Amino acid sequence: MAYSGFRIRLLLRLLLLIAVALALLLVLYRTDWYMTAFCVFLILVFQVYDLITFVERTNRDISSFLEAMRHSDFTQRFATERANSSYRELYQHFNDISDAFLKVKTDKQAHYHYLQTIIEQVGVGILSFDEEGEVELVNEVTKRMLHVPHLRHVEALERLSAELVQALFGIAHQEKRLVMVQLKHEQLLLSLHATELTLQGRQLKIVTLQNIQSELEEQELQTWQKVIRVLTHEIMNSITPVISLTSTVAGLLQQEVIVKQQAGESIDMDVLEDMQAGLQTVERRSSGMLNFVKNYRRLMRLPVSELRPLKINSLLRQVHQLLQPELKLQAILLKMYLPDEDVEVMADAEQLEQVLINLLKNSMEACQGCTEPLVEIIAYVPDGERAKLRIDVIDNGPGIAEDVLDKIFIPFYTTKKHGSGIGLSLSKQIMQQHGGTIRVHTKPNETVFSLQLKLVTNSAV
């Protein structure tokens, strides 16, 4: 109906334009009314302008509508109430189309935010990028894991690990890779899994990143505990009868000597002494091995950590006070850098104190040969880690040899002449029970053992 009105109005304008043109010709050829002809000419010009404006108005409105669609501007509205009947239906259709597109855009944004929320809730890092390395999507887990607040391009990770960047670009569809990343105070073992897809003509790669370092360490600890359990069981089962039998044989030998002496028989004292010495040596060494095995059973019998809020400053000062006599005796300078007094961590006070004592004693032994032995304790909250506290124990000793570094947390392994090899292993187990970590970094004249613990919520920093 509106289009019929548009045609009628267009036809009327054309007929009126023709009539005015004929009137102008009639005035010019039949009369000498020049002023009348001039006025009629002006009317003719106005009608031509009105006709052009009337026809082009539709083109302008359509052009404006399409331009708004091209720029995704679905808020543009066309006033249907004030428009004449010729355009009212057209404007209404424009508004309906805009509303439809706006609804599609709103639904798309809602689905995007819904997907983004789901991705943020996933406990695995997700990174999506194109062939050029431009990042399309990255969740907070990935940012926290790699300690990057923003990530626009994959190559920005070059400063963290060139191997990681190479693995991200090189990993193929449905391929899995393991990449070791050494951050400033943390070591990550990342498990990468990639999926490739083509989206609107663009090749995209979606990579999941999961740090399996803690799981690997937990599995390693459980394996060692199983080995220790089997070894101690077998050794104790074998050694206990040997000790008992040795003691019995020594007693029988002593009785036999007494009997022969009472009977007046001669005894070779040298042979007797050798036999007694041998039996005593067997008994002593067997007893020593039994105590040795019992000592290692501590790794399997570590009490469950009772985590409670603990003021870290008080604990560190207490450890300092305990070791102060040894520090003075060995002329070692201990410097402590503490956080605010109100900083608390979730920890078992006795177990954490034991870890700190182990680390400090190791550091004191490491720097004994230095001209100016120095041990430092630095407790602080790392940048970007508002929920964690780090404690660094640093010494200026010669450092740890490269071939030894990866073995120092293995049970029984030690480079000390009188060491048991369970101190660091036990410390690592304690930290795992605390939900924390223990790491070591070394270079000539500096070794750093770093502990990471959970801060109490709302703890001052």
Domain match, 439 and 375 both: yes
Domain's final residue, options 249, 282, 299:
299
Q: How confident is the model over 311-351, as pLDDT tens digits?
A: 999 899 988 988 888 888 888 899 999 888 888 898 888 88
On the CB side of 39, CA atoms within 13 Å amount to: 4
Radius of gyration over every alpha carbon of the chain, rounded to an integer in angstroms? 44
What pLDDT, on the 0 to 100 scale, is given for residue 394?
A: 92
Does 114 fall in a domain? no
Within a 10 A sphere around the Cβ of 368, how many other Cβ atoms? 13
Q: Are residues 322 and 400 in the same domain?
A: yes
Q: Say what the alpha-carbon torsion angle 57, 62, 64, 68 is, to the nearest 10 degrees.
A: 160
Q: Are residues 205 and 251 in the same domain?
A: no
Report the CATH number that the domain containing residue 173 is assigned in CATH: 3.30.450.20
Residues 11, 134, single domain; the answer is: no
* Cα–Cα distance for residue pair 59/74, rounded to 1 Å: 19
- For residues 77 and 13, membership in a common domain is answered with yes
Domain boundary among 49, 77, 108: 108
d(CA 345, CA 343): 7
Q: Which of 148, 178, 211 corresponds to the end of one domain?
A: 211
Evaluate whether residue 87 is within a structural domain.
Answer: yes
Residue 33 lies in a domain: yes
Judged against a pLDDT cut of 90, whether residue 299 lies above it is answered with no
Average pLDDT over residues 186-207: 83
d(CA 356, CA 358) in angstroms, rounded, equals 5
Residue 8 confidence class, pLDDT cut points 50, 70, 90: confident
Query: Is the pLDDT at 132 greater than 60, yes or no?
Result: yes
Burial class (CB in 10 A: 0-12, 13-18, 19+), 118: exposed
In a domain, 84, yes or no: yes
- Asked if residue 320 and residue 442 are part of one domain, the reply reads yes
Phi, psi (deg, nearest 5) at residue 397:
-75, -175
Higher model confidence: residue 56 or residue 49? 49
Together in a domain, 270 and 224: yes
pLDDT of residue 420: 56
Answer whether residue 2 shows pLDDT above 50: no
pLDDT confidence of residue 356: 92
For residues 90 and 78, what is the distance between their CA atoms, to the nearest angstrom?
A: 9
Residue 453 confidence (pLDDT) above 80: yes
Within this chain, do residues 63 and 172 fall inside the same structural domain, yes or no?
no
Is 376 a residue whose pLDDT tops 90? yes
pTM for the complete prediction? 0.51
> Which pLDDT does position 109 carry in this prediction?
79
Both 326 and 431 in a single domain?
A: yes
Q: Do 344 and 436 belong together in one domain?
A: yes
In a domain, 113, yes or no: no
Of the chain, the percentage scoring pLDDT greater than 70 comes to 69
Q: Give the least confident one: 5-19, 327-341, 360-374.
A: 5-19
Closest by Cα among 406, 442, 408 to 422: 408
3-class DSSP state of 321: helix
pLDDT of 161 reads 85
Of residues 8 and 396, more confidently modeled = 396
How would residue 375 be classed by pLDDT, with cut points 50, 70 and 90? very high
* Owning domain of residue 186: 123-211
Give domain status of residue 460, yes or no.
no
Q: Please count the structural domains in the chain.
A: 4
Across 42-64, average pLDDT: 76
Given pLDDT bands bounded at 50, 70 and 90, which one contains residue 293? low
- Across the chain, mean pLDDT equals 77
Q: Is residue 197 domain-resident?
A: yes
Burial 205-216 (b: 16+ CB within 10 A, else e): bebbbbbebeee
Based on the fold, state whether residues 330 and 425 are members of the same structural domain.
yes
For residues 388-424, one letter each, b for 16 or more C-beta atoms within 10 angstroms of the residue's C-beta and e for the rest, the string is ebbbbbbbbbebbeeeeeeebbebbebeeeeeebbbb
Q: Which residue has the higher pLDDT, 339 or 409?
A: 339
- Tell whether 459 is covered by a domain: no
Same domain, 131 and 61: no
Least confident of 51-60, 95-104, 253-262: 253-262
Backbone conformation region of residue 445, classed left if phi is above 0, alpha if psi is from -120 to 50, else beta: left
Residues in the chain: 461
- For the purposes of burial, counting CB atoms within 10 Å of the CB of 238, is it exposed (0-12), middle (13-18) or buried (19 or more)? exposed
pLDDT > 90: percent of the chain:
4
- Give, for 51, the enclosing helix (H) or strand (E): helix 34-70
